Amino acid sequence: MRAYPVADGIWWVGAIDWNLRDFHGYETPSGSTYNAYLVRGSEKTALIDTVKEPFVPELLSRISSVMDPAEVDLIVVNHVEPDHNGGLRDVMAAMPRARVVASPSGVRGVAEYHDGLAVDAVTADDAIDLGGKTLRFLPMPMVHWPDSMFTYCPESKTLMPNDAFGQHYASEERFADELGLDAALEQLGIYYANILLPLGAQVAKAVEKVLATGWEIDVIAPSHGVGWRGSDIAAAVGRYRRWTAGEKRDKAVVAYGTMWGSTASLAARVVDGLAAGGVEASLHDIAVTPIAHIAYELLEAKALVLGSPTLHHGMLYRVSGLLTYLEGLRPTGRLAAAFGSYGWGGGAVKQMRERLEKAGFELHAEDFAVKFRPTAEDLAAAEAWGRAIAEAVRG
């Protein structure tokens, strides 16, 4: 397997996981990559990050197309989550002379994950000279874990920020300009919505912290998906600024579960009402649309309209699953409204309302519930309710 040059003296030597379909509950229909980079100076070579454990042979094969892995001098652990650090022990076995470094929190994380394995700490004050290539480090707590760190090579003007600016997307392309900028930005948004949304304040600080260094950056080489170079860097940074600032548009996401079609027919009319009220709407049956896609749809939306029939006095389990997921993502600063049908005693709408509040939404004043199969009047009322939500969204 071959390595891929990404900047002067820097090669991509990662692994492509075409078959990944779940990343801790986030559906990944397009797989992912675990990116690692080889930085070669005139005297020493460093490997920036390793890969998920089963992919170590692929990493070593790609390194072997450039040099003997046994001659690597330094391994930088930017992040201890197992998709980057899981293969560390196997990689170290293939690189017996390599020193291993991580952020101070990363040192603790490596020891905890790898049964006491001791590695060295680096901070923003450190610089490691590889001979004509230098490595600088910026600890970036909570982008994505407390141990997260960015590594920078000034001579190649390349930033390796690990999870930041990544996407779960498997491809042979290594840069956004090869994949297509629009497709890459969409994947960037899906990743941000599902991984980084609750960490927006820390991501905003990270962007400003890098800009404050004055580092020149020609290449952003993240740990997942494609990298960014040229004018695409400004496009990716612009999206991060928009999302961390919480910018939204007049859009509502309508998501529902249904038993016999009653809540589905209400949902369709709620969408009609939103559209009539001048609000963009998207409609998702939770049994069909992956939760990760609903989270992405919410990224720039001002409202979530959630529907469920009542089953055993409560909401459908898939609706509850979506709410559990959203409680983790904390999509605050958005309106939410609950609706649904019921056969005799209700319960789902009240339950959804409580859970939406717990997830950080502001609740629309009125819920909407219909007994049994909606009549023509009920459907018209659902549309009017959607229109009232549109007014709240636009107001």
CB-nearest residue to ligand FEO: 81
Phi-psi region of 44 (alpha: psi -120 to 50; beta: other; left: phi over 0): beta
Is residue 152 annotated as part of the catalytic site, yes or no?
no
Residue among 49, 58, 147, 224 flagged as catalytic: 224
| Cβ distance to ligand FEO smaller for residue 20 or 270 | 20
Residue closer to ligand FEO by CB (options 144, 302) is 144
Q: Contact, 11 vs 55, CB < 8 A?
A: no
Instruction: Examine the residue annotation and report whether 163 is marked as an active-site residue of this protein.
Output: yes
Distance of closest approach, residue 100 Cβ to ligand FEO, in angstroms: 18
Q: How far is the CB of 150 from ligand FEO (least distance, A)?
A: 13
| Closest distance to ligand FEO from the beta carbon of 199 (Å) | 10
- 17: which residues sit within 8 A by CB, 6+ positions away? 31, 32, 33, 34, 52, 55, 170
Q: Please identify which of the residues 27, 81, 90, 147 carries the catalytic annotation.
A: 81
Instruction: Answer for the pair 224, 174: CB distance below 8 angstroms, yes or no.
Output: no
Residue 224: active-site member: yes
Q: Which of 83, 147, 232, 378 is catalytic?
A: 83
Q: Which of 34, 79, 169, 240 is catalytic?
A: 79
**Closest by alpha carbon to 16, among 40, 3, 32?**
32
Whole-number minimum distance, CB 47 to ligand FEO, in Å?
16
Whether 24 is catalytic: yes
- Joined together, the tokens standing for residue 163 give 């999870």
Identify the sign of the CA torsion 59, 64, 70, 74: negative
> Closer CB to ligand FEO, residue 33 or residue 258?
33
36, 28 contact by CB (below 8 A): no
Catalytic annotation, pick one of 191, 192, 296, 342:
191
Q: What is d(CA 151, CA 292) in angstroms, rounded to the nearest whole number?
A: 29
Rounded alpha-carbon distances, angstroms, from residue 178 to 1, 11, 222, 232, 394: 20, 16, 15, 11, 38
Q: Judged by CB, which is closer to ligand FEO: 165, or 243? A: 165
176's CB contacts (< 8 A; 6+ apart) are: 184, 185, 226, 227, 228, 229, 232, 235, 236
| 191 included as an active-site residue | yes
Q: Which residues are at the interface with ligand FEO (CB under 6 A)?
A: 79, 81, 83-84, 144-145, 163, 223-224
Shorter beta-carbon distance to ligand FEO: residue 133 or 144: 144
Give the number of residues written for the chain: 395
Closer residue to ligand FEO in complex, CB, 28/341: 28
Judged by beta carbon, residue 223 or residue 263, the one nearer ligand FEO is 223
Q: Where are the alpha helices (DSSP H) in the chain?
A: 56-64, 82-85, 88-94, 104-113, 176-179, 181-191, 200-213, 232-244, 262-276, 291-298, 317-329, 348-358, 376-394
As given in the structure block, the two tokens for residue 320 are: 């509850």
| Beta carbons of 187 and 292 less than 8 angstroms apart | no
**Least CB distance to ligand FEO at residue 29 (A):** 17
Residue 228 token pair? 């960014």
Smallest gap from residue 368 Cβ to ligand FEO (A) = 39
Residue 169 a catalytic site member: no
Please confirm, yes or no, whether 293 is among the known catalytic residues. Answer: no
**Identified catalytic residue from 24, 115, 125, 172:** 24
Q: How far is the CB of 82 from ligand FEO (least distance, A)?
A: 8
Active centre residues (catalytic): 24, 79, 81, 83, 144, 163, 191, 224
